Amino acid sequence: MGKLIDDLISQVLAQIDQKTLHIKRISKGFRFTGTMLQDGSCGLCFSVFNQDPLDSCEYIRSVRSLEDLDIKKLLKFASNKENDLERVIGISVLNAVSQHILNQTQEKYQIIFDTDPLDHISFRETDLVVMIGYIGAFLPKLQGKVKNIAVIDDRLRDINLIRTKEYIKSPESTQEYLRAADIALITGSSLATATLETLLGWIQNAREVAVVGPSAGFIPEPLFSRGVSIVGGMKILEPQKVLDIIAVGEGTPHFKRYCRKYNIMR
């Protein structure tokens, strides 16, 4: 088994005709970067940690039209650990192409729309639920199901979340908590920060592992083979509107009305 990101790229490339897929639009804002293909397939990637403008990418500046961009080259950007901007662009392209594949092959997957991943997990009161990346909508639901919750997110060091303080754990304790987790919930943005594979490797005995969020638009097989049981993403129903919202720096609460949540079950 190779690296997760390389497996995602190679499996996507094996399922597409590169000559017929073209980029129509790429939008980069404060919170997300989004790519839309000419067929309307759209992928998002968390980009708060990188605020370089899109035209800082030398390759994108070098072409006359987005249609001239090489899909394969952009997909390879997703594995670039040294260049955050290229990686963010690459993952948004990876997710857009993955959505194209999912649209074409939906019947081969167990996809459930309009639910949260938590709706498909059987919790026990004594479970330790570890959330990597704070997902505000999940916490009230978890509080009614389990007693032991650990939330780990670098961004929470500087955020005064009074209601969640008791659950916040130090990022330095991530490995310890994931090893002990009964349920692990990881945001798709961890692929963008190049930490997802490491996080999955630290999980030892969890009954359920869900990778979720707008950045989790990728095909699921490479994650399933690494122990993930649910991949929860968002199908973009009105990509132009979503990319407009992204461009002005807004996030999920503003564009989710133009999307449809889904969960792919292993």
DSSP 43-110: EEEE-TT----GGG-HHHHH-SSGGGS-HHHHHHHTT-SS-HHHHHHHHHHHHHHHHHHHHHSGGGSE
Q: What is the pLDDT of residues 201-231, one digit of tens each?
A: 999 999 999 999 999 999 999 999 999 999 9
Mean pLDDT of the chain: 93
Domains in the chain, number: 2
Same domain, 171 and 181: yes
Whether the per-residue pLDDT at 69 is higher than 60: the answer is: yes
Same domain, 131 and 223: yes
Same domain, 130 and 82: no
Same domain, 115 and 97: no
Same domain, 122 and 142: yes
Residue at 166 is within a domain = yes
Same domain, 127 and 80: no
Angle at 19 between CA 16 and CA 25, to 5 degrees: 90
Instruction: Supply the pTM of this predicted model.
Output: 0.94
Same domain, 168 and 199: yes
Q: What is the pLDDT of residues 223-253, one digit of tens each?
A: 999 999 999 999 999 999 999 999 999 999 9
Q: What is the pLDDT of residues 141-164, one digit of tens each?
A: 999 899 999 999 987 665 555 456
* Cβ–Cβ under 8 Å, residues 31 and 249: yes
Q: What is the pLDDT of residues 118-147, one digit of tens each?
A: 999 999 999 999 999 998 889 999 998 999
**By residue range, what is the domain housing residue 153?**
111-234
CATH code, 117: 3.40.50.11590
Confidence of residue 1 (pLDDT cuts 50, 70, 90): very low
CATH code, 56: 3.30.390.100
**Mean of pLDDT values over 6-30:** 93
Same domain, 52 and 95: yes
What 3-state class would DSSP assign to 112? Answer: strand
Same domain, 115 and 88: no
Residue at 99 is within a domain = yes
- Higher-confidence residue: 66 or 159? 66
What 3-state class would DSSP assign to 167? Answer: helix
**Mean of pLDDT values over 86-103:** 97
Whether the per-residue pLDDT at 76 is higher than 50: the answer is: yes
Give CA–CA dist 113/104, Å, rounded.
Answer: 16
Same domain, 183 and 249: no
